[in-house]
Amino acid sequence: MIIDGFVHQLHDTDPGETQEWLDSLDAVVDAQGKARARFLMSKLLERAGQLQVGAPASVSTPYVNSIPSEVEPFFPGDEDLERRIRAFIRWNAAVMVVKANKAADGIGGHLATFASSASLYEVGFNHFFRGKEDGLAGDHVYIQGHAAPGIYARAFLEGRLTESQLDHFRREVGGGGLSSYPHPRLMPTFWEYPTVSMGLAPLSSIYQARFNKYLHNRKIEDTSASRVWCFIGDGECDEPETLGSISLAAREGLDNLTWVVNCNLQRLDGPVRGNGKIIQELEAVFRGAGWNVIKVVWGGKWDELLARDVDGVLLNKMNATVDGEFQRYAVESGAYAREHFFGPDPRLTRLVEHLSDEEIRNLPRGGHDYRKLYAAYKAATEQEGAPTVILAKTIKGWTLGPDVEGRNATHQIKKMTTDQLRLMRERLHLEEEVPEESLADDREPPYISLPEGSEARRYMLERRTALDGPLPQRIVHTKRKLDLPADAAFEELYAGSGTQAASSTTSFTRLLRNLCRDPQFGPRVVPIIPDEARTFGMDSLFKEIGIYASKGQQYEPVDHALLLSYKESQSGQILEEGITEAGSMASFIAAATSYATHGVPMVPFFTFYSMFGFQRVGDLIWQATDARARGFLLGATAGRTTLLGEGLQHQDGHSLLLASVNPVIEAYDPAFAYEVATIVQDGLRRMYGEGEDILYYLTLYNENQVMPARPEGAAAGVIEGLYRWADAPDGASIPATILFSGSANLAARAAQTELAEHYDVAADLHSATSYKRLREQALTTERTNRLHPSRPADTPRVTELLAGDGPIIAVTDFIKAVPDQISRWVPDGRSYTSLGTDGFGRSDTREALRRHFEIDAPHIVVATLAALAARGEAKAEIVADAIKRYDLDAEAVDPRLA
């Protein structure tokens, strides 16, 4: 039987010797069994590794700790005191959630996640995580969202949060509360890294670690002292975002990155891998990807049993037991484990003869063993050249008592009876701190607080001081100031393209290049592209500013002879991420929050295929705004008809609508190069000058047209979202208004001419750069008016801007709901019609597509005439006339349904 086909293709230089080795192995299996054979094979592999033979490493190891007890380092802390502190934190975290749910039934919160991971965090807080004192960047610590109660409980003991804040866990509206999960948007001086949408934190942490190396290699900031820690649930590992980029972390040699996977074997509904072993599965995945894997499966009390396991029966049992069974052992008695785990094999039974049932039940898991964890973290920090993942086995709900621990429902338990709290108090030996009378039924369970000067408080604070201050803590302190770019960078676009045609995309690329050339500002620009630079005409930047490559360029590129060759470099500026919008977005977040995480403002411009932006990575964009990111998102190849030929999955007609739901995104749909430049310049001013925590989204089109120069005084209107771009032609007499955005400007302009020439309609043209902005301004005005009835009512700005006569026709390459955002505020006496691209995209020419979606010039003409006719301002017959003149198919299926 051929198991490893490759072996048979290698030349055997000494078949006799080969046979001797094989016979030896056969003999061992026959005489001493498979366990012994496995042992010898492992020893051989270990030796091969030491001799650098280059034999392939196996992807999995037996179900035991990766660090043998004999090489565990000395534990430097006060173990007893740290256990006490941990008990206090456990107690307070539970009381906080229980009280919150008494005060406001259904308010939620989680007990079990932190209960399983308290030791994982505490080892970090007491011995590893670096703080941010004295302007240091410190470590980046991503905390499992549902473990937030434990983090608040620690901050309370440190004196950083008050009892009233704990009492307002999940009740933020009146102020002074605590957010459910790590949300920098809601607690901007506390949380740094938003995490709760599963999978996003792990992904972000990889790119954060990578971005730290980028800053370092580009000599912008020395980040060598910062480590990224990411705490992840074992269930969370099923999210594609969690594991999707782990090979990048290994490829980039991110030894500044440590993941800790809390393997409590459970997710929300039940076991993560009831019929398998999540730790083994993850080990194989990570080892295969090139990570350093440290398994922390068993607590110290198992060491003695394993040492006596001369036949390998215990190891076999460990290997053969599935997670569903391990979960069962967590809820059953010691007698049950004696019977079922140690029972079937007499050699196993003998191994635990000397232990009582209670002792068997309390044989701890590695993730609750402080020394084992310390050893793992230390090894992780000493690892060079590869990221480390620590797979720590825990029990979900640990110490919360038999009704919660390991139960399938544990994730959602948020209430505890007085009796349950009493049991917990006993379990944690808190009789002194929590007096019996304080748990009377009619009383609120008390928090434990540490008076200033108490031994425990002093110890906690000393540990944090030694590690550069408390965490989490978000400090915005600019260490390396950023000067805004000089006007010169924008002037090229303000001047227009003369007689040359250009697209808004290539215009933007010129702007980006100009910004990069600005001597002060340029180095802080971070262009991010997911393998589309050529599509956007940005490949011209490769040579000029280089593509970041941590290993430089170890080959001569095929196009080396060309002027614009492919250039990778350790100091390269472009993050050419390959085909990963999610990874690019994670890089964007790292760059866009660098003003806070490092005190070094960086300016990311993430240009993507607009269809693969908001709908593909919308959750990450939401996370970015939670993280208070500042930067530019550019949706290139925008529009349902402007991106011709590509069809249904490429043509974007709705990203602006998706962007419209985020309260801190300024979403613009510019038509002209000068609009792009005006918006970018204003965005830089607001985000990097004024320090507003907002994002900009701009659509960019690939249709060439002559780009006009910026009209005098147009800048304010461009920014405001709407301005008059052209007056109605002289000579015509029936008034109307056409609003255009983006690439629809061409059809609108043609329609204006047609209307004047054939139908005596005098339409003025407005450029609508941001319906979102107009709508938000109007909503603000409306609200102010509603709540201040005694003041004279203000008029929404958009209503003022649309003052005039006749119908208004809005045309866009996006769906009609985009211009519909302002329809409510059209002035009395005018009507409003939206023409847009509702329906699925399809392959064809721009011309055909615009006819199909009814947004071309003839359709604008017809829509204008129909609106005039409906208002009695033009004769009904002219509508039919226009339909005929332009040969429009009135019987065509509505494109929305086609």
Ligand X SMILES: Cc1ncc(C[n+]2csc(CCOP(=O)(O)OP(=O)(O)O)c2C)c(N)n1
Residues at the site binding Mg ion, with contacts judged by CB under 5 A: 233-235, 264, 266
Q: Residue number with the shortest CB distance to ligand X? A: 233
User: Which of residues 260 and 765 has its CB atom nearest to ligand X in the complex?
Assistant: 260
The DSSP line for 437-484 is GGG-TTSPPPPP---TT-HHHHHHHHHHHHTTS-SS------SS--PP
683 binds, among Mg ion, ligand X, none (CB under 5 to 8 A by kind): none
Q: Nearest distance from residue 197's CB to ligand X, in Å?
A: 5
3-state SS of 623-667 is HHHHCCCCEEEEEECCECCCCCCCCCCCCECCHHHHHHCCCCEEE
Stretch that binds ligand X, among 85-93, 153-161, 192-200, 652-660 (CB under 6 A): 192-200
Minimal distance, residue 231 CB to ligand X, in Å: 9
Q: How far is the CB of 399 from ligand X (least distance, A)?
A: 15
Instruction: Work out whether 833 is an interface residue with ligand X (CB under 6 A).
Output: no
| CB count in 10 Å sphere of residue 886 | 15
Cα–Cα distance measured from residue 167 to residue 187, given in angstroms and rounded to the nearest whole number: 16
Among 236, 433, 568, 754, binds ligand X (CB under 6 A): 236
Q: Which is nearer to Mg ion, 233 or 445 (CB)?
A: 233
DSSP 682-707: HHHIIIIIS----EEEEE-----EEP
Q: Which stretch binds ligand X (CB under 6 A): 5-13, 259-267, 384-392, 713-721?
A: 259-267
Q: Which stretch binds ligand X (CB under 6 A): 93-101, 195-203, 469-477, 843-851?
A: 195-203
Give the count of beta carbons closer than 10 Å to the beta carbon of residue 6: 8
Tell the smallest beta-carbon distance from residue 48 to ligand X (Å).
36
Cβ proximity to ligand X, 264 vs 770, nearer residue: 264
List the structure tokens of 324.
């569903």
Give the nearest distance from C-beta 45 to ligand X in angstroms.
32
Q: Which of 146, 213, 378, 850 binds ligand X (CB under 6 A)?
A: 146
Name which of 380, 315, 374 is nearest 341 in CA terms: 315
Question: Closer CB to Mg ion, residue 316 or residue 327?
Answer: 327
Peptide bond connecting 472 to the previous residue in cis, omega within 30 degrees of 0: yes
Residue 626 interacts with ligand X (CB under 6 A): yes or no: no
In one letter, which amino acid is 604? P
For residues 849 and 703, give the distance between their C-alpha atoms in angstroms, rounded to a whole number. 14
Helix (H, G, I), strand (E, B) or coil at 254: coil
Indicate whether 267 belongs to the interface with ligand X (CB under 6 A).
yes
Coil, strand or helix at 142: strand
* Interacting span for ligand X (CB under 6 A) from 233-241, 417-425, 724-732, 785-793: 233-241
DSSP letters along 112-139, please? Answer: HHHHHHHHHHHHHHHHT----GGG----
Contact segment (CB under 6 A) with ligand X among 191-199, 444-452, 598-606, 664-672 equals: 191-199
The sheet with strand 575-576 has its strands ordered as: 575-576, 525-529, 603-609, 631-636, 695-699, 665-668
Is residue 414 involved in binding ligand X (CB under 6 A)?
no
Q: Which is nearer to ligand X, 240 or 691 (CB)?
A: 240
CB of 64 to ligand X, least distance (A): 22
Rounded to 10 degrees, the C-alpha dihedral 151/152/157/160 comes to 110
**Among 178, 196, 620, 861, which residue interacts with ligand X (rule: CB under 6 A)?**
196
Q: CB of residue 79 vs ligand X: minimum separation in angstroms?
A: 25
Interacting positions 761-790 with ligand X (CB under 6 A): none
Shortest Cβ distance from residue 112 to Mg ion (Å)?
9
Task: Rule CB under 6 A: say whether 198 interacts with ligand X.
Answer: yes
Radius of gyration over every alpha carbon of the chain, rounded to an integer in angstroms: 33
Angle of helix 79-103 versus helix 148-157 axis, rounded to 10: 110
Q: Measured from the CB atom, is 239 or 646 closer to ligand X?
A: 239
What 283-289 contacts at long range (C-beta under 8 Å, 24+ apart), as own/partner pairs, is 283/59, 283/60, 283/61, 283/391, 284/59, 284/60, 285/243, 285/246, 286/246, 286/389, 287/57, 287/58, 287/59, 287/60, 288/59, 289/246, 289/247, 289/249, 289/250
Strands 547-548 and 501-502 come out as unpaired
Q: Which of 197, 449, 540, 550 binds ligand X (CB under 6 A)?
A: 197
Binding positions for ligand X, 84-143, rule CB under 6 A = 113, 116
For the bound state, the minimum distance from the C-beta of residue 619 to ligand X, rounded and expressed in Å, comes to 7
Give the C-alpha separation, 9 to 362, whole Å: 52
704: nearest Cα among 759, 644, 614: 644
Q: In whole angstroms, what is the distance from residue 701 CA to residue 745 CA?
A: 12
473 binds, options Mg ion, ligand X, none, Cβ within 5 to 8 A by partner type: none
Nearest-approach distance from CB 63 to ligand X, in angstroms: 19
CA dist list (Å): 657 to 484, 500, 822, 860: 30, 32, 13, 22
> 141 and 257 in contact (C-beta within 8 Å)?
no
Which segment (262-270, 279-287, 700-708, 797-805) binds ligand X by CB under 6 A?
262-270
Check residue 408 for interaction with ligand X (CB under 6 A): no
CB of residue 412 to ligand X, shortest distance in Å: 9
| Total residues at interface with ligand X (CB under 6 A) | 19
Q: Which of Mg ion, ligand X, none does residue 748 bind to, with CB < 5 to 8 Å depending on kind?
A: none
Piece in contact with ligand X (CB under 6 A), picked from 260-268, 290-298, 520-528, 879-887: 260-268
Cβ distance to ligand X smaller for residue 408 or 570: 408
Q: Which of 204, 208, 226, 266 binds ligand X (CB under 6 A)?
A: 266
Residue type present at position 892 = A
Q: Which residue has the tokens 């009835």?
A: 789
Judged by CB under 6 A, which of 82, 122, 221, 234 binds ligand X? 234
Show contacts with ligand X in window 386-405 (CB under 6 A): 396
* Candidate list 35, 103, 268, 439; residue touching ligand X; CB under 6 A: 268
End-to-end alpha carbon distance in the chain: 57
Closest contact distance (angstroms) between CB of 488 and ligand X is: 45
Q: Which residues contribute to the site for ligand X (CB under 6 A)?
A: 113, 116, 144, 146, 196-198, 233-236, 262, 264, 266-268, 272, 396, 411
